[in-house]
């Protein structure tokens, strides 16, 4: 069991959990992730190790609540525990040793570039972080990233920082010259746009692919991606790859495979919560008994 040590809301649907996981905290490296299972029957989901404190024996998870499993996780309070955390998994990020790196984070992707920016800074690389959100309250980890170098915050609506997409700020940095590497993590269209932008400049671009994962050990094939025409497994060969070689269309298609199941799981979760808020009926209605058969394990099997 992994006890939650602290919890903090970073944006309307992004939560930071600091969790006991001593062995993982000792050996994790930037770019690696864990597979988390909240409790018996729950789905296994991959989450990046956003930070770690080897002395305290904790890791930091930054979680965007978008579906059933992530919403269940962010409901946990300090003192409660996550049953299973497996990791560290995946290949560590290949980092440059000198020069100027631009780290681009969109939404919760900022939490994934954060350990990369930290380690680049530790190596003496100049780091510029370009981070974006739809408006001010969706921009996360700005203060933390500032400790690693310059930060350009962008908002779609102009309510904070620079008005516009992260790609516009990145274009200016590329035009200015001297960028040796770009690390980009965020929604698939963002990573695709960043990769297309850097291609003509010949700047090596690393993206972190959020493929659907089940076992995280290369056994199930769920996280299959196409890189330069070759099949790779994001969990063991990645999750980071050369953005100029990724087949983003295939990735986007595969991410929609279980959309109906995901929506149903979320709807059942909401229905259960409404049921919990209402006074308990004297005799359980047949529909409640039926819905209790639809456990989260159904979603996991569907993957
Ligand atoms: C290597 C890696 C690192 C990640 N790191 C983070 C992170 O640090 N913070 C964070 O908030 N999210 C992260 N994600 C995404 C996170 O795993 C999904 O948001 C989560 O699994 C959604 O589960 P759900 O039940 O809440 O949502 P669902 O409603 O089940 O799914 C919503 C969407 O999430 C994606 N998804 C669903 N199940 C999985 C799965 N088993 N594996 C991967 N993607 C899935 C799909 O795109 C799906 O359409 C990461 C994904 C990968 C592959
Ligand atoms: S998650 Fe099963 S092969 Fe990668």
Asked if residue 266 has its Cβ within 6 Å of ligand 1, the reply is yes
Write out pLDDT tens, residues 251-301. Answer: 998 887 666 666 666 666 667 666 655 554 444 333 333 333 222 222 323
Smallest CA separation from ligand 1 atom 25, residue = 69
Ligand nearest to the CA of 267: 1
Write out pLDDT tens, residues 146-174. Answer: 999 999 999 999 999 999 999 999 999 99
Please report the atom of ligand 1 found closest to the CA of residue 256.
49
Smallest CA separation from ligand 1 atom 5, residue = 47
- What mean pLDDT is predicted for residues 239-261? 86
At 178, give phi and psi (nearest 5°): 80, 15
Ligand nearest to the CA of 299: 1
Asked if residue 11 has its Cβ within 6 Å of ligand 1, the reply is no
Q: What is the CA radius of gyration of the chain?
A: 20
Of 71-80, 185-194, 223-232, 254-263, the poorest mean pLDDT is in 254-263
φ/ψ region of 174 (left if φ > 0, alpha if ψ in -120 to 50, else beta) reads alpha
Smallest CA separation from ligand 1 atom 17, residue = 46
- What mean pLDDT is predicted for residues 51-61? 97
Q: Kindly give the distance from the C-alpha atom of residue 212 to the centroid of ligand 2, in angstroms, as a whole number.
A: 8
Q: Kindly give the distance from the C-alpha atom of residue 207 to the centroid of ligand 2, in angstroms, as a whole number.
A: 18
Asked if residue 255 has its Cβ within 6 Å of ligand 1, the reply is yes
Name residue, tokens 């955390």: 85
The domains of the chain, with CATH numbers, are 2-89 (2.40.30.10), 100-255 (3.40.50.80)
Ligand nearest to the CA of 46: 1
Name residue, tokens 């690693």: 148
Write out pLDDT tens, residues 78-129. Answer: 999 999 999 999 999 999 999 999 999 999 999 999 999 999 999 999 999 9
Q: How far is CA 281 from the centre of its chain?
A: 40
Smallest CA separation from ligand 1 atom 26, residue = 67
Q: Kindly give the distance from the C-alpha atom of residue 300 to the centroid of ligand 2, in angstroms, as a whole number.
A: 13
The string of DSSP codes covering the chain is -EEEEEEEEEETTEEEEEEE-HHHHHH--TT-EEEEE-STTPPEEEEE--EEETTTTEEEEEEE--SHHHHHHHT--BTBEESEEEEEESPPP---SSSEEEEEEETTHHHHHHHHHHHHHHHT-EEEEEEEESSGGG--SHHHHHTTSEEEEEETTSSSSEES-HHHHHHHHHHH----EEEEESSHHHHHHHHHHHGGGT--EEEE-----SSSSSSS-TTEEEETTEEEEHHHH-SEEETTTB-HHHHHHHHTTTHHHHHHHHHHHHHHHHHHHSPPPSS--HHHHHHHTS-HHHHHHH-
- What mean pLDDT is predicted for residues 119-141? 95
CA proximity to 299, closest of 71, 63, 1: 71
Residue 290: the pLDDT is 32
Q: Kindly give the distance from the C-alpha atom of residue 35 to the centroid of ligand 2, in angstroms, as a whole number.
A: 11
Residue 283: the pLDDT is 40
Q: Kindly give the distance from the C-alpha atom of residue 47 to the centroid of ligand 1, in angstroms, as a whole number.
A: 7
Residue 275: the pLDDT is 60
Residue 137: is the preceding peptide bond cis (ω within 30°)?
no
Residue 279: the pLDDT is 52
Residue 241 has pLDDT above 70, yes or no: yes
Question: Higher-confidence residue: 12 or 276?
Answer: 12
Our mutation pick for probing the ligand 1 site, out of 62, 67, 114, counting the most ligand atoms within 8 A of Cβ, is: 67
pLDDT > 70: percent of the chain: 84
Kindly list the protein residues whose Cβ atom lies closer than 6 A to any atom of ligand 2: 213-216, 218-223, 233, 235
Ligand nearest to the CA of 90: 1
């Amino acid at each position: 069991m992994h006890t939650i040590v602290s919890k903090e809301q970073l944006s309307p649907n992004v939560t930071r959990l600091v969790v006991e996981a001593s062995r993982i905290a000792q050996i994790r490296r930037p770019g690696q992730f864990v597979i988390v299972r909240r409790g018996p029957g729950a789905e296994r989901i991959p989450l990046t190790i956003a930070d770690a404190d080897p002395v305290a024996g904790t890791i930091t998870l930054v979680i965007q609540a978008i579906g059933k499993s992530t919403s269940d996780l962010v409901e946990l309070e300090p003192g409660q525990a996550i049953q299973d955390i497996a990791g560290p998994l995946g290949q560590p990020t290949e980092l440059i040793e000198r020069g100027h790196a631009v780290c681009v984070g969109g939404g919760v992707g900022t939490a994934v570039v954060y350990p990369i920016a930290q380690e680049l800074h530790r190596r003496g690389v100049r780091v510029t972080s370009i981070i974006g959100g739809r408006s001010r309250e969706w921009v996360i980890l700005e203060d933390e990233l500032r400790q690693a170098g310059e930060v350009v915050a962008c908002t779609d609506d102009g309510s904070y920082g620079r008005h516009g997409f992260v790609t516009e700020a990145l274009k200016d940095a590329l035009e200015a010259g001297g960028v040796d590497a770009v690390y980009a993590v965020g929604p698939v269209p963002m990573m695709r746009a960043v990769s297309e932008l850097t291609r003509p400049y010949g700047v090596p671009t690393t993206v972190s692919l959020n493929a659907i994962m089940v076992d995280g050990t290369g056994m199930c094939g769920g996280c299959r991606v196409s890189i330069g025409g070759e099949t790779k497994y994001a969990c063991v060969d990645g999750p980071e790859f050369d953005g100029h070689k990724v087949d983003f269309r295939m990735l986007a298609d595969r991410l929609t495979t279980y959309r109906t199941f995901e929506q149903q799981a979320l709807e059942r979760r909401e229905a259960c919560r409404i049921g919990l808020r209402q006074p308990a009926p004297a005799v359980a209605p047949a529909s409640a008994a039926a819905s209790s058969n639809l456990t989260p394990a159904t979603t996991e099997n569907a993957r």
